[in-house]
């Protein structure tokens, strides 16, 4: 065991020996962890799944930040200082882009939770290494593990709370989730750099195919090694390695089935038991999930009735269009998804006036940005900013109708924004006014 080696450099040898003599019992005892399944090979199998999966979750997460158009201060957190990435403008196409990146971020993030837990289980004896560190370098490495483990658990907790309770707690989770992600990503990069050679070596030590054919009775422990993952005194196996892998894989498959329906839609929606929104969106053309109802947003029938008119500003003088006037303008139809940051999405057929046509009517033929305000007065949904490419795209609409019918009040009647590849939240419902700014 490594604990019994003399310290190399750094820590005073006397302190180390004193600590080594006073090894606490319980989980710190070398005999406390005895599962015959633990060992570098099993840890590396889980590790290699995470090595492939987690970078996808990290990158799609950062893309989501970029998709929120941070240049308008509408991403969370608004100001990230030097963590601000080289900015690029989020594209307005293909229309399914955010649906894909955010579906992957949330979906894969959830599916990997059982693998993360299994990986942590497989290395838990390392938490109780004694003495805690043999050298300054090892102390640093263990500190990075604290950030790694703490970081991933923090990201899982804030991520899950965010998709389940977003609209109960507001947006504070985003800020925590964003900074937590950088802490985790840094620790993850260090961990991969330190462990990759050992992982490759361990994966070669056993054959996956052979393990998948091995029954419980024939399951042999991995040889005890200096890393201390494999137990020095293993018990008899209560489950085979393939059984353990099947358990973890089954857990991930279950999470997939219980959540993926929210994006796949149709019958699959019925199985999406783990998602908070939209299992019973009703029938008809407006029968798809509602993020927040008109009632919850305090939108009254009076405000959206015949007195409603869209106010367009930005040109020489403001203009107003009531709903019949908007309906008399050239109409365009496009099949576009609403893709929520929570991971769910739904594609519908929208009809309305092109945003670019509205910009021209406002007297801003070359729009550089648009500030959309909702009848909803307060909160994160009261307004949104659109980039030039999001206004100019031929499918970027102020929708009046969906699937051939007028928008329902819950889906944003009298008019709502719908733009290809735009994060759901910026597709403002119950639009009151649009202020166009000319491109510079």
329-358 footprint of ligand MTE as x/- string (CB under 6 A): ---------x-x------------------
Shortest spacing between CB 240 and ligand MTE, in angstroms: 44
By CB under 6 A, what part of segment 374-393 binds ligand MTE? 374, 376, 381
Rule CB under 6 A: say whether 425 interacts with ligand MTE.
Answer: yes
Strands (E), 51-94: none
Size of the site for Mo ion (CB under 5 A): 3
| Binding partner selected for residue 144 from ligand MTE, Mo ion, none, CB under the kind-specific 5 to 8 Å limit | none
Residue nearer to ligand MTE on the CB measure, 185 or 304: 304
284: left (phi over 0), alpha (psi -120 to 50) or beta: left
Whether residue 346 contacts residue 300, with contact meaning beta carbons closer than 8 Å, is answered with no
Q: Residue 220, CB half-sphere, CA atoms under 13 Å: how many?
A: 5
Shortest spacing between CB 381 and Mo ion, in angstroms: 9
DSSP conformation letters of 169-185: HTTHHHHHHHHHHHHHH
Nearest to 314 by CA among 371, 229, 353: 371
Residue nearer to ligand MTE on the CB measure, 119 or 323: 323
- Using CB under 6 A, pick the residue from 123, 163, 290, 310 that binds ligand MTE: 290
Residue nearer to ligand MTE on the CB measure, 229 or 422: 422
| Binding partner selected for residue 289 from ligand MTE, Mo ion, none, CB under the kind-specific 5 to 8 Å limit | ligand MTE
Shortest spacing between CB 367 and Mo ion, in angstroms: 24
Shortest spacing between CB 262 and ligand MTE, in angstroms: 12
Whether residue 412 contacts residue 288, with contact meaning beta carbons closer than 8 Å, is answered with no
Interior angle at CA 391, CA 103 and CA 402, nearest 5 = 65
Name the residue whose CB lies closest to ligand MTE.
424
From 122-130, 185-193, 216-224, 291-299, span contacting ligand MTE (CB under 6 A): 291-299
Q: Which residues contact 107 (CB under 8 A, 6 or more apart)?
A: 256, 259, 260, 263, 343
234-273 footprint of ligand MTE as x/- string (CB under 6 A): ----------------------------------------
Rule CB under 6 A: say whether 206 interacts with ligand MTE.
Answer: no
Q: How far is CA 438 from CA 74, 92, 314, 370, in A?
A: 20, 19, 8, 9
Residue nearer to Mo ion on the CB measure, 276 or 287: 276
Rule CB under 6 A: say whether 397 interacts with ligand MTE.
Answer: no
| Binding partner selected for residue 263 from Mo ion, ligand MTE, none, CB under the kind-specific 5 to 8 Å limit | none
Q: Residue 298, CB half-sphere, CA atoms under 13 Å: how many?
A: 6
From 54-62, 310-318, 351-359, 424-432, span contacting ligand MTE (CB under 6 A): 424-432
Cα separation, 126 vs 148, in Å, equals 14
Nearest to 148 by CA among 192, 85, 199, 203: 192
Dihedral pair phi/psi, residue 408, rounded to 5°: -75, 160
Nearest to 103 by CA among 166, 61, 160, 142: 61
* Cα Rg of the chain (Å, integer): 27
Size of the site for ligand MTE (CB under 6 A): 18
Burial 130-151 (b: 16+ CB within 10 A, else e): bbebbeeebeeeeebbebbbeb
Residue nearer to ligand MTE on the CB measure, 64 or 185: 64
Strands (E), 95-247: none
Whether residue 387 contacts residue 417, with contact meaning beta carbons closer than 8 Å, is answered with no
By CB under 5 A, what part of segment 397-426 binds Mo ion? 424-425
Whether residue 395 contacts residue 353, with contact meaning beta carbons closer than 8 Å, is answered with no
Shortest spacing between CB 341 and Mo ion, in angstroms: 5
From 24-32, 259-267, 365-373, 426-434, span contacting ligand MTE (CB under 6 A): 426-434
By CB under 5 A, what part of segment 311-370 binds Mo ion? 340
Residue nearer to ligand MTE on the CB measure, 70 or 337: 337
Residues within the interface to ligand MTE (CB under 6 A): 289-292, 297, 338, 340, 374, 376, 381, 411-412, 424-425, 427-430
Residues within the interface to Mo ion (CB under 5 A): 340, 424-425
């Amino acid at each position: 065991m490594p604990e019994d080696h003399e310290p190399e450099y750094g820590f005073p040898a006397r302190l180390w020996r004193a600590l080594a003599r006073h090894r606490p019992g319980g989980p710190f005892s070398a005999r406390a962890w005895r599962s015959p399944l633990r060992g570098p090979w099993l840890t590396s199998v889980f590790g290699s799944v995470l090595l492939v999966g987690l970078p996808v979750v990290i990158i799609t997460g950062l893309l989501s930040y970029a998709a929120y158009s941070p240049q308008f201060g509408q991403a969370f957190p608004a100001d990230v200082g030097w963590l601000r990435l080289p900015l690029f403008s989020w594209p307005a196409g293909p229309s399914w882009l955010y649906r894909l990146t955010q579906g992957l971020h949330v979906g894969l993030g959830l599916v990997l939770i059982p693998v993360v837990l299994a990986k942590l289980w497989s290395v838990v004896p390392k938490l109780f290494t004694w003495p805690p560190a043999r050298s300054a370098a090892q102390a640093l490495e263990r500190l990075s593990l604290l950030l790694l483990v703490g970081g991933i658990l923090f990201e899982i907790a804030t991520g899950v709370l965010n998709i389940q309770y977003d609209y109960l707690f507001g947006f504070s989770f985003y800020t925590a989730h964003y900074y937590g992600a950088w802490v985790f990503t840094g620790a993850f990069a260090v961990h991969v750099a330190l462990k990759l050679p050992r992982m490759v070596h361990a994966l070669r030590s056993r054959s996956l195919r052979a393990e998948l054919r091995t029954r419980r009775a024939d399951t042999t422990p991995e040889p005890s090694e200096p890393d201390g993952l494999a137990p020095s005194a293993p018990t008899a196996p209560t489950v085979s390695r393939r059984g353990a892998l099947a358990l973890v894989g089954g857990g991930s498959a279950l999470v997939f089935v219980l959540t993926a329906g929210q994006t796949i839609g149709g019958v699959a929606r019925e199985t999406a038991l783990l998602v908070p929104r939209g299992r019973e969106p009703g029938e008809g053309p407006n029968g798809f999930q509602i993020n927040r109802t008109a009632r919850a947003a305090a939108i009254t029938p009076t405000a959206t009735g015949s007195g409603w008119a869209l106010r367009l500003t930005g040109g020489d003088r403001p203009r107003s269009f009531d709903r019949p006037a908007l309906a008399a303008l050239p109409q365009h139809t496009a099949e576009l998804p609403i893709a929520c940051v929570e991971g769910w999405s739904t594609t519908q057929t929208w009809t309305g006036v092109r945003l670019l046509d509205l910009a021209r009517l406002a007297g801003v033929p070359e729009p550089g940005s648009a500030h959309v305000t909702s009848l909803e007065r307060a909160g994160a949904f009261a307004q949104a900013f659109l980039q030039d490419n999001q206004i100019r795209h031929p499918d970027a609409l102020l929708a009046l109708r969906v699937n051939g019918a007028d928008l329902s009040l819950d889906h944003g009647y009298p008019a709502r924004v719908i733009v290809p590849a735009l994060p759901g939240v910026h597709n403002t419902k119950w639009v009151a006014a649009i202020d166009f700014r000319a491109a510079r």
